[in-house]
Chains A and B, each alone.
Chain A
Amino acid sequence: MIAKQTNQKAWFMVLPVFLVVAFSAVIPLMTVVNYSVQDTFGGNQFFWVGMEWFRDLIHSERFHDAFLRQLLFSGIILLIEIPLGVAIALAMPKKGWGVPVCLISMALPLLIPWNVVGTIWQIFGRVDIGLLGHSLASLGVNYNYTQDPLAAWLTIIVMDVWHWTSLVVLLAYAGLCSIPDAYYQAAKIDGASRFAVFRYIQLPKMQRVLLIAILLRFMDSFMIYTEPFVITGGGPGNSTTFMSIDLVKMAVGQFDLGPAAAMSLVYFLVILLLCWVFYTVMTNVGEESRKGGN
């Protein structure tokens, strides 16, 4: 690793970024904190309520439900997308014309605006005009994502797999491509089985990128809003009302600024905590592989 030189003037180079991000992050956050301890009767009349919104929130069943749904959703997403992404990356060609074909077609879903992703699946899953819905219906499956919570969940999960597995694939593939040929050759000479090659060469070398993948996927699925909003709008009932959807419903739909702000803060703190774990784990892994050298 490069030994860094101490230079306080470096702050000047960071300053523009610091100012822009601070403008976009700190001021709004202050607003949120401000709301979270007040109540309003509309207009511009506010009065102090202290920690009340937070107390309400902690005991609110609605919040618990949304939080648990969110955790369940993120868990399922990770369980499907990470192994699937790794498996696809392992099977991808290493050279030849297949490489650009794979990379380009796989990157495609990542660059579609999120609400268009929602629209695509909304159409695709409709029984009357969608290929998926129509095919399922003609197979005799009773599928209707607007009324059946299970179908709604399945649709959103399949959509998220469709949308985001490629990120895992591309990250894992980048990790795989960085393994020098000598490792595979040495493994051949040592008589290692296919599984041993995966377990002792590929998996350790992918460790860092997989961590990035897991945590990016966890964060982003934890904040998911647009896609399920377009497909189900949080329904049927509240069955697909995830944290962000609930928050926007509360803030914009019902204009309950206080509770919404309190929820924002709790939500943000949860993510901050996860982010901290992410950062610590990442830097530790980074240090370790640096110490080992190459």
Chain B
Amino acid sequence: MRWKWLIPALYILFLLLPIYWLINMSLKTNEEILSVFSLWPQNLTLANYRVIFTDASWYSGYINSMIYVSINVVISVCFALPAAYAFSRYSFVGDKHLFFWLLTNRMAPPAVFALPFFQLYSSIGLFDTHIAVAIAHCLFNLPLAVWILEGFMSGIPKEIDETAFIDGYSWPRFFIRIFIPNIASGIGVTAFFCFMFSWVELLLARTLTAVNAKPISAIMTRTVSASGLDWGVLAAAGVLTIIPGVLVIWFVRNHIAKGFALGRV
């Protein structure tokens, strides 16, 4: 058992090696990448990053991604809160079927929806807007948000609601003043998951955008197929897409273990 720590340590090494390699490449010049094979940059350069930060077609990708991810997180959490409350506290006609139907959408393959989405959003004039991607991502994030929040809410004793109503709180006031602070960590975890799945998704985001709302990940694929050679810039762009994730993990690190069990442990 003394060597038990080796297992996670080796695993983390396995996780970090490819990421290290990406960072390593992003700090090299293209000539160095292609000519010498070295474990660390011989001529450290930030030129690749400079390309991204000065070229609007690159950095606008980040801004686009951030915008639609934020919209999506806000929509998902705000809409899911009352719904999750309803599922966790009340029984009503069709509640179980509705819950199941919502979950099926979390399981729906985006590939199935890509083309119909394209036509739907084109026909209502939302194609190539941030809101289109945000709403499209609600397809899988909203059910997920309802599901996670319902788990957290069911862990809150019903007596809290009853006491508040006896004390004369109206429902909205109770919900905002008392209930939401009680499930704050659940909301944090939900937002984390919505962020995660919206940030990493590419297929729908790429299908629904052309220029104005194109996400960074889609810009990367286009660049690689067009030039095919600019490995340094590609690696730098990749590194930059990892950073928001790192920041988000840092903020929720204390809730992460519970959060991954979706509040259901």
Q: Which residues of A contact B (CB under 8 A)?
A: 2, 4-11, 13-14, 16-18, 20-21, 23-25, 27-29, 31-32, 87-88, 91-93, 98, 100-116, 119-121, 123-124, 128-132, 134, 162, 165-167, 169-171, 173-175, 177-178, 208-209, 212, 219, 222-223, 225-226, 230, 243-245, 247-248, 251-252, 257, 260, 264, 267-268, 271-272, 274-276, 278-279
Contact = CB atoms under 8 A, between A and B. Distances in A.
> For the complex, would chain A's binding face be called helix, strand, loop or mixed by DSSP majority?
helix
Interface string B90-115: 11110100101011110111111111
B18 A166 contact: no
A132 B19 CA distance: 12
A2 B158 contact: yes
Given A7-B92, A31-B116, A119-B234, 20 more contacts: A2-B88, A13-B83, A21-B143, A31-B119, A91-B6, A100-B253, A108-B15, A108-B245, A113-B200, A121-B18, A130-B21, A132-B18, A170-B256, A173-B257, A208-B264, A230-B221, A248-B111, A268-B109, A271-B108, A275-B107
A110 B80 CA distance: 23
A79 to B, nearest CB: 17
Interface of B: 4-8, 11-12, 14-19, 21-22, 25, 33-34, 37, 39, 75, 79-80, 82-83, 85-93, 95, 98, 100, 102-105, 107-117, 119-120, 135-136, 138-139, 142-143, 146, 154, 157-158, 196, 199-203, 216-218, 220-221, 224, 231, 234-235, 238, 241-242, 244-246, 248-250, 253, 256-262, 264-265
A113 B217 contact: yes
> For the complex, would chain B's binding face be called helix, strand, loop or mixed by DSSP majority?
helix
Given A174-B258, A268-B108, A111 B249 contact: yes
21 contacts: A11-B92, A13-B83, A32-B116, A103-B253, A104-B250, A106-B15, A111-B199, A111-B246, A113-B201, A113-B241, A119-B224, A123-B231, A123-B235, A124-B17, A129-B25, A166-B15, A174-B258, A230-B221, A244-B111, A268-B108, A278-B107
A169 B11 CA distance: 11
Contact of B15 (A7, A105, A212): A105
Contact of B202 (A8, A20, A114): A114
A114 B143 CA distance: 21
Contacts of A248: 111, 114, 203
Q: Shortest 4 CB-CB distances between A and B: which pairs? A: A111-B245, A28-B116, A174-B261, A13-B82
A88 B104 CA distance: 30
Nearest to A223: B109
A5 B161 CA distance: 13
Contact of B146 (A17, A271, A275): A17
Nearest to A99: B257
Contacts of B143: 21
A167 B261 CA distance: 10
Greatest chain A CB density within 10 A among B87, B158, B200, B250 is at B200
